[in-house]
Structure 1
Amino acid sequence: MLVVTPTVQLTCKLALNSFASVSVNGLSHITSALENVQQTGLLTLANHISTLDDPMAWGVLPTKYFLRSHTARWTLGASDIMFTNPLFSTFFRSGQVLETVRGNGIYQPSVDAAIEKLNRGNWVHLFCEGKVNQPDTYLQENGLTRLPRFKWGVGRVLTEVSKLPPIIPIWLSGFERLMPEGRPFPYKYLPRPGQHLSVTFGEPLDLRELEALRASDATPEQLRIRITSIVHDAVEALGHSVSGPLLTRTP
C-alpha cells in the first residue's frame, strides 16, 4: 500500500490534469471527514458509470491524502475482474481492494473486512450497484430517471458496524464518456481524452433515521432492506440535484 496507492493516485491526478477537465463540488465535505477518520471512520457511496471511476475520481483530492495510510480508501473489487491472476491479485490487494465474489451474497470475507475497517477508523468506499451501469441504461419512472438498485451489502455493513460512521454520497458525471462500455479491443482499454468530468461530494447524511432503525426491533433482513433504500435514495437525490431529473445535464 505504501507504494501502490500513492503512485496510482498521483498518476490519476496527473491524468485528470492532462487529458480531461474536471469540476469538483463539495470537496470540503470529504476533506473534513478525512481529517477525523481515525476517530469516526468514513463510508462513501457513489454511482458507478465506468471502469475508471475508481481510482480516477480520487485524483481530485489534495495530494496529502494519498500519502497518509489512514486517509487512503478501501474498496470492494470483483474477483472475476481484478483477481484473475497472481500479478493482478497482488497489485489490487496492495491498492487496498477487498476481493469480492459476485453471487456469494452479503456474508463473505470482503464484507466482513469492510465492517472491520470502519470499526478501526478507516475510509471505505462502496459502489453499491455492484457493477458498471452507464446512464443511458437507467430506467425512467414518471419523468424521473432512477439510479439502479443497490445491493444489500451496504445494508449489512451499516447494520453491523459498531458505530455509524459519517456517510457521504458522491455523484460522478462524464466518466462514462471517458471510458465507454461496449467498445471492441483494444479501444475498450483506452480513455477518450477531452472529456468534461464532474465529481460532487454531498453533505454527510443525517444519521438519526439510521440510528433509530438500528435501535428498533426490526429483523436484520428488515434493517438491511430499509438502510439500503435510504442510502440509495441519498445518492440518487444528489444525482438529481447535480444533473437534473433525467440525470443528463452536464455540470
Structure 2
Amino acid sequence: MDHTEVTKPDETLEHRKQHNLCSRWNFLKVYHRCFFIFKELLNKTRVHNKHILVRALNRKGNTPLITVSNHHSCFDDPGLWGSLNLKHLLCRRRMRWSLAAQDICFTNVWYSYFFMLGKCVPVIRGEGVYQEAINFCLEKLASGDWVHVFPEGKVNMLKENMRLKWGVGRLIMESPITPLVIPIYHLGMDKVLPNDPPYIIKAGKKVTMYYGDPIDFSGMVADLRANNATEMDARKAITDRIQDELLRLKTITEELHARF
C-alpha cells in the first residue's frame, strides 16, 4: 500500500523561521505577479473599498492585522491579493501569513517548500485551536504582522452559510495587542480556478471583491475579560461577530456581482 509522506507542521514551522529571507522575497515577487496576470489581466476583476486594506497595510506602530474571508476556491489566496500595489506585494515584512491545510499544501517536501516560501502556515484540520499553527500566528501577531484566515476551515464549494471555526477567535482574544480585523467577501474565484478536474486556470471570468469596514474588537475583548468569560465563550462571541459581518458582506457582494 502506498503512503503519502506528510511533512510535520512543527518541522515546517521551524524550517520557516530559519529560512533565508532573500529567497522568500524573490519567490513572493514571482508568485504574486503571476497571479496578478491571471486575475487582473486575463480576467475581469472589480474591487470595492480597496483603500480599506491599503490604509491598514500602511498603518503605523505595532498593531497587528487580521483579514478574514470566505473560501470558494484554491485560487482565493493569492488571488485575493493580486490587486494590491507593488510596494505591498513586494514587501516581505508587510505581506500576509496565511493558514493553509496541512493535508493538502504540505504533503511532501516540494509542496512544503513552495507554500513555506509563500508564507503559508500548515494547519491541521480537526486539531483544534491550541495547535502549533495557531501558536505560530499568535507570535506573528505579537510582532505586528498580518495574518489571513479562512474561518470556514475548508473550501466551501456549495457556498453555504457555514459555522465558522473558532481559531480566529483565539487569535483575536489572545493577541497581546488587539488586532485590526478586516472582513472580505468575494465571488468568482471558483470560476477562475474551478474545484473540479482538470484544475486549469481560466480566462475571461468575472471576479468581485468587497472589503468591509475594519472591526474594532478592543471593546469586546475588554468586556469579555472584565466579565471573566470562559475561553470558549470568548472565542465564540468573537467568531460570531465575524460571521455576522461576513454574512452582511455576502449579500452586498452578491448584488454587486450580479450587476457586473
Give your verdict on TM over 0.5.
yes
**Does the 8 Å CA contact 2:38/2:203 hold for their aligned counterparts?**
no
Question: How does 1:1-251 map onto structure 2 within 5 Å?
Answer: 1-36=24-59, 39-134=62-157, 136-138=158-160, 147-181=161-195, 183-184=196-197, 187=198, 189-207=199-217, 208-244=219-255, 249=258, 251=260
> 1:142 aligns to what?
none
1:77 offset after TM fit, Å?
0.7
1:215 offset after TM fit, Å?
3.5
Q: Distance in 2 between matches of 1:51 and 1:116?
A: 26
**Does the 8 Å CA contact 2:209/2:253 hold for their aligned counterparts?**
no
1:38 offset after TM fit, Å?
5.3
SS of the residue 2:209 aligns to:
strand
Q: Distance in 2 between matches of 1:100 and 1:53?
A: 17
1:123 offset after TM fit, Å?
0.5
Unaligned runs of 5+ in 2: 1-23
Q: Distance in 2 between matches of 1:63 and 1:51?
A: 23
Of all paired residues, the percent bearing the same amino acid is 33
Indicate the larger mover: 93-102 or 35-44: 35-44
Q: Distance in 2 between matches of 1:35 and 1:15?
A: 26
**Does the 8 Å CA contact 1:47/1:171 hold for their aligned counterparts?**
yes
Q: Deviation string for 1:159-211 (max 9, x for gaps)?
A: 11112111000011111222222x23xx2x20221111011111101333344
Q: Distance in 2 between matches of 1:68 and 1:97?
A: 16
**Does the 8 Å CA contact 1:19/1:194 hold for their aligned counterparts?**
yes
Q: Distance in 2 between matches of 1:37 and 1:96?
A: 22
SS of the residue 1:170 aligns to:
strand
**Does the 8 Å CA contact 1:38/1:122 hold for their aligned counterparts?**
no
Unaligned runs of 5+ in 1: 139-146
> 1:143 aligns to what?
none
SS of the residue 2:215 aligns to:
coil
**Does the 8 Å CA contact 1:37/1:121 hold for their aligned counterparts?**
no
Q: Which 4+ stretches in 1 moved above 6 angstroms? A: none
Q: Distance in 2 between matches of 1:65 and 1:24?
A: 16
Q: Distance in 2 between matches of 1:48 and 1:234?
A: 15
> 2:12 aligns to what?
none
SS of the residue 2:258 aligns to:
coil
Q: 1:28 to 1:137 in 2, by over 3 A?
A: closer
> 1:141 aligns to what?
none
1:250 offset after TM fit, Å?
5.3
Q: Distance in 2 between matches of 1:120 and 1:250?
A: 41
1:213 offset after TM fit, Å?
2.4
Aligned residues: 236
Q: Distance in 1 between matches of 2:168 and 2:259?
A: 28
1:97 offset after TM fit, Å?
0.6
Q: 1:226 to 1:90 in 2, by over 3 A?
A: same
